[in-house]
Amino acid sequence: MSHADWKKGRDAVQPLDTKAAARASAHVDQLTKPLGSLGRLEKLAVQLAAITGEPAPAVAPPGILVFAADHGVASEGVSAYPQEVTAQMVANFAHGGAAINVFGRQIGALLHVVDVGVATDVDAPGVWSKKVRYGTASMLRKWAMSREEAEQSLQVGYESAEALFAEGAKLLIVGEMGIGNTTASSAMLAALTETEPDQLVGRGTGVCDEKWERKKAVVKEALALHQPNPADPLDVLAKVGGLEIGAMAGAIICAAARRVPVLLDGFISTVAALLAVRLCPAAADYLLAGHRSQEPGHAHVLATLGQEPLIDLGLRLGEGSGAAVAFPIVESATRMLREMATFASAGVSNR
Ligand SMILES: O=C(O)c1ccc[n+]([C@@H]2O[C@H](COP(=O)([O-])O)[C@@H](O)[C@H]2O)c1
Ligand SMILES: Cc1cc2nc[nH]c2cc1C
């Protein structure tokens, strides 16, 4: 595999299939229900047909990639938890005990954990070891990573998604684990959308008022120091981003290139989606928003992408958990298309 597959993928993303969408839409109107009565499920069904190019698409089994990496900025006191939790949670994922393992089993998902930059060596069964470097540098002092490492993180995500699709995954959920990554995501979002950080920076894992103020100051200082170029997404990723954020963007680009729908999770995965879209605008049509996270920046990035999430349960965990919980709604839309009787087949009188 070449180190620049993600670029080939980016250039291969096709527009939506309007013919498949029209066929799905016509079929939805023949199903045994008052016209339009399945509301947003009907729109989802047509959107999934447009994405996949199949008039009766399938989204099962879904595939989940949990990308894990550490953040040098964690040493600046911006998280409620210590950095070692990232590696410890990778071990927990490997042993099946995290929320994403539980919800992943519930929806019959294929799930892989990818170490793209955990700060220590993780010896846990089944973890895909694709470390680009041992954590990023603190954005307050240096670039988080080099431009080359930023590209490598995209490539890791792209390759991981290719492997997942080879196993048969029909929909992609991108999740992440990385202490400090709400700081990196807030900085990236502020840079990419040229927005005042105070509106975006939230409490992440649940920081106290004092750490919250510190976190806002860190983001502002890092942006002032590095001046990331909003028109150059790789510059933003390298200067203030994270390895798992780059990897999620690479995986999303791969999904779009393969016509696989992407179900986004919370704040960090949606910032990764914005990065993917800035690198590859055509990828925007392949995204579905699973849930609305409590992190304040999430509403802003969802609005920037023109996405309305499926559920709002006050979650702020990450890992892909909110997307996994929302997945059954997406599956309902496809089952409606594939399994419901039509007025003609069931002998029901139409209006
Ligand atoms: O997905 C979200 O919206 C989300 C919101 C807040 C926190 N998280 C998770 O919490 C970690 C980052 O929080 P923090 O406070 O360390 O920046 C990281 O592992 C994320 O998966 C995730
Ligand atoms: C325990 C824990 C689990 C997580 N999962 C995703 N982010 C997390 C952060 C913490 C602290």
The mean pLDDT value for 297-325 works out to 98
- Residue 177 contacts residue 93 (beta carbons within 8 Å): yes
Contact of 181 with 244, CB cutoff 8 Å: yes
Per-residue model confidence (pLDDT) at position 62: 99
Contacts of 138 (CB under 8 A, 6+ apart): 72, 73, 75, 76, 144
Indicate if the pLDDT at residue 33 is higher than 60. Answer: yes
pLDDT score of 197: 98
Across residues 114-137, what is the average pLDDT?
97
The CA distance from 230 to 82, in Å, is 31
> What residues are in contact with ligand 1 under a 6 Å CB criterion?
79-80, 176-183, 204-205, 265-268, 293, 295, 298, 316-319
194 exposure class (CB count in 10 Å sphere: 0-12, 13-18, 19+): exposed
Is 77 a residue whose pLDDT tops 90? yes
Q: What angle do the packed helices 243-257 and 5-12 form, to 10 degrees?
A: 50
Ligand 2 near 85 CB (within 6 A): yes
Which of 182, 269, 325 for mutating ligand 1's site (highest number of atoms within 8 Å of CB)? 182
pLDDT category at 1 given cuts 50, 70, 90 is: low
Catalytic annotation, residues: 319
C-alpha–C-alpha distance, residues 82 and 184, integer Å: 16
pLDDT at 3 over 80: no
Please indicate whether residue 238, judged by its CB atom, sits closer than 6 Å to ligand 2. no
- In the chain, what are the domains? 4-57+336-346 (1.10.1610.10), 62-329 (3.40.50.10210)
pLDDT for residue 35 is more than 60: yes
* Closest-approaching ligand to the CA atom of 92: 2
Say if ligand 2 is within 6 A of residue 81 CB.
Answer: yes
Q: Directed axis angle between helix 243-257 and helix 233-240, to 10°?
A: 150
Q: How many residues does the chain have?
A: 351
- Identify residue 14 by its one-letter amino acid code: Q
pLDDT in tens, 218-240: 999 999 999 999 999 999 999 99
Which two three-digit tokens encode residue 272?
């990764």
Angle between helices 267-279 and 243-257 (to 10 degrees): 60
Contact call for residues 170 and 59 (beta carbons, < 8 A): yes
68 CA → ligand 1 middle, Å = 12
240-298 pLDDT per residue, tens: 999 999 999 999 999 999 999 999 999 999 999 999 999 999 999 999 999 999 999 99
Question: Is residue 146 classed as helix, strand or coil in its secondary structure?
Answer: coil
CA of 181 to the centre of ligand 1 (A): 6
What phi and psi, each to the nearest 5 degrees, are found at residue 36? 80, 0
Please give, one letter per residue, the 3-state secondary structure of the chain: CCCCHHHHHHHHCCCCCHHHHHHHHHHHCCECCCCCCCHHHHHHHHHHHHHHCCCCCCCCCEEEEEEEECCHHHHHCCCCCCCHHHHHHHHHHHCCCCHHHHHHHHCCCEEEEEEEECCCCCCCCCCEECCCCCCCCCCCCCCCCCHHHHHHHHHHHHHHHHHHHHCCCCEEEEEEECCCHHHHHHHHHHHHHCCCHHHCCCCCCCCCHHHHHHHHHHHHHHHHHHCCCCCCHHHHHHHHCCHHHHHHHHHHHHHHHCCCCEEECCHHHHHHHHHHHHHCHHHHHHEEECECCCCHHHHHHHHHHCCCCCECCCCCCCCCHHHHHHHHHHHHHHHHHHHCCEHHHHCCCCC
Give the residue, out of 78, 83, 84, 85, with the most ligand 2 atoms within 8 A of its beta carbon, to mutate for a pocket test. 85
**Mean pLDDT, residues 321-349:** 98
Nearest protein Cα to ligand 1, atom 20:
318
Q: Is 205 in the pocket of ligand 2 (CB under 6 A)?
A: yes
State the number of CA atoms in the 13 A half-sphere of 221 facing the CB: 14
**DSSP letter for each residue of 22-84:** HHHHHHHTTBSSSTTTTHHHHHHHHHHHHHHS-SS----SEEEEEEEE--GGGGGS-SSS-TH
- Work out the widest C-alpha separation in the chain, in whole angstroms: 71
Which of 189, 205, 207, 245 for mutating ligand 1's site (highest number of atoms within 8 Å of CB)?
A: 205
Q: How large is the ipTM?
A: 0.99
